[in-house]
Chains A and B, each alone.
Chain A
Amino acid sequence: MNPYIPRVVPIVDIREETPDTKTFTIAAPMSFQPGQFVELSVFGYGEAPISISGGDGKKIDLTIRAVGNVTNKIHRMQVGEYVGVRGPFGNGWPVEKAKGKNLLIVAGGIGLAPLKPVVEHVCSHREEFRNVTLLYGARKPSLMLFKYKFDEWAGYMDLLLTVDEAEPGWEGHVGVVTTLCDKIRHVADTITLMCGPPIMMKYTSMVLLELGFPPSEMYLSLERNMKCGIGICGHCAVGGVYVCRDGPVFSLNKAFRFIEKPHEVQGVLD
């Protein structure tokens, strides 16, 4: 099978999440691990790596913010139009490892999308985990993803929400994600899964380390410019690993050195 050839599949549902983010449900039958991604093709526009935010084996959800060529175009597309998809690629979150342990999920902005399958897994297999906390921060309340799910999720886990900037009607916490870290009720025996903008992951992991979370039990999902998704094109290579094949999820131990000095030591990770 040629790994560069995408499967052509239709868009079956589009849901507006925030002004610049939509969730596209595409009829791509595939089984995937939470945290894996696909290469989404819009023919004529190119390909972009998009993490899977949900699915049932017959369809997958892709939550996409309009930032580039491919993503802007798919935002202009309608239900019934066709896209291409390759994958799933990547290693995914170590959900198995968290069984019988406490689980902390930290997300910033669009970073909740790759973590949503984990959250949903927790909801349907709640008995597998001990304490579970979801810490989610966004720039504004109107930019929060999956708000319609929050009530349901709150029934299964501690839900800590924060925004950088309040808007009328927001009664919750205001401040960056790190300001909520001391509200987490469990430190010992906790697996942490984190995804968000590089700057947020850097500071949050530093605060969590100070609180006593071990770096080997903290996992981050990294974003890189993956072109092929299969570890050949070289664009996502960092410090001798391919983010597309060996990642996108890495333990903080591994990822530490390039979060420390993003521009300086970027290519030098060991």
Chain B
Amino acid sequence: MKLVKMVTIMGIKIAKNKVNEFLERVKQEYVLYAPVENGVTKFEKIGDPADICILPNRTDISLKPIFFPPEQEFFRWSKDTEGYHIEDLLENEEKKVIFGVRGCDIRSLEILDTYMSGEFADPYYTQRRKNTVLIGLTCSYPRESCFCTAFGGMVPNHYDLWFTDIGSYYYVDVGSEKGKKLIFGDIFENATKEDEMKKNRKIKKVEDEIERRTRIDLCEIKRCSQEIKKKADDDIWRELGEICVSCGRCNFICPTCHCFDVRDITNLEGSEGERIRVWDSCHLYEYAKTSAENFRKERHARVRYRIYDKFVFPVMRYGVYACTGCGRCTDVCHANINLRDVLRRLIS
């Protein structure tokens, strides 16, 4: 307790060779998720902290699948004398710590929270979201496609703990009560003024690097919603429509895309089955189809819809951009559509 009081003034740090010990301790109380490399880099449940892959920047696959898996069972039903018996498949709460998240990951969760809560909250998401402790990590250098500085910078406003590499130590910022509880006195040390300066220099360096590459500055992004709104009939949509192959990869990889399709699965007798939801994509042909007509038949209209649904509609509705600047959609695009270039063209 004494230490905690002190750290709020002095700052703390953890030796790199003690991180595994720290995570081992965390695991005693929490389920631990962290990045692993398995063909692609993604967050997975960790058995042995030695499996964790400390990456220089964000993972290939975002945090989204942990809270909103590609396939989620809603309920199981079976016929009985009173009609149907319904068994809700809502999972139990799980206390989890996610280690190694980035600023873009945390911001994506904030955006998803906006969508999934409100008048009708999504119980499957909120259940998984409860009791989550997020331990962030400053990127060592950005990826080619990164532009998080356009949407709030590398260090988000809210985190529980935030680690920054300062040589043989990680400097640790404490962002919440939940995070404070994980500051074990025998593992963490007090940091010096010099450590703190090192940390700030490090963050500044990487952010400058991203800025230099992206050249979309913040004041332009602030009006990007207004600008894009005016460009509904721009030629750019036809151009993009010609090269997009409607694979939906940008939607699935996007940490804030949350559309889903609902399907029923049944046995041959029709006596029992399940209702599931599966990720869906607004790039797919059947997305906006009703019994009367298909409202976004043309490919360019679908491409445009996605950009609008990231940069215009959420601003109108919730006052937030549904983009974190992670650049994953640029990385996965078969047609090499670069979101940064698209934005730059729309803003200019």
Contacts and interface: CB of A to CB of B under 8 A. Distances in A.
Interface of A: 2-6, 8-10, 41, 43-47, 67-68, 82, 84, 197-198, 223-225, 227-228, 230-235, 237-241, 245, 262-268, 270
Contact of B262 (A2, A46, A241, A266): A46
B290 A225 contact: yes
Given A10-B83, A198-B292, A266-B295, A46 B263 contact: yes
Nearest to B304: A267
B259 interface: yes
* B interface secondary structure, majority: mixed
A245 B123 CA distance: 17
A231 B260 CA distance: 11
Given A232-B115, A234-B258, A237-B309, 15 more contacts: A2-B88, A5-B74, A5-B86, A43-B77, A44-B266, A46-B264, A225-B287, A228-B260, A233-B260, A235-B261, A240-B308, A245-B119, A266-B288, A267-B295, A267-B296
Contact of A234 (B74, B75, B280, B308): B280
Given A68-B291, A267-B301, A232 B88 contact: no
Contacts of A237: 309, 313
B320 to A, nearest CB: 13
Nearest to A240: B313
A210 B36 CA distance: 65
A71 to B, nearest CB: 8
A107 B275 CA distance: 34
23 contacts: A2-B123, A3-B120, A3-B121, A4-B124, A5-B74, A5-B88, A43-B77, A46-B264, A47-B262, A47-B264, A68-B291, A82-B84, A198-B292, A224-B288, A231-B120, A232-B260, A233-B280, A237-B309, A262-B293, A264-B301, A267-B301, A267-B309, A268-B304
B215 interface: no
Nearest to A269: B313
B121 to A, nearest CB: 8
A227 B295 CA distance: 15
A263 B297 contact: yes
B315 to A, nearest CB: 9
A225 B289 contact: yes
A82 B83 contact: yes
B174 interface: no
A43 B288 contact: no
Contact of A4 (B123, B232, B263): B123
B262 A233 contact: yes
Contacts of B277: 233
B20 to A, nearest CB: 39
B270 interface: yes
Contacts of B91: none
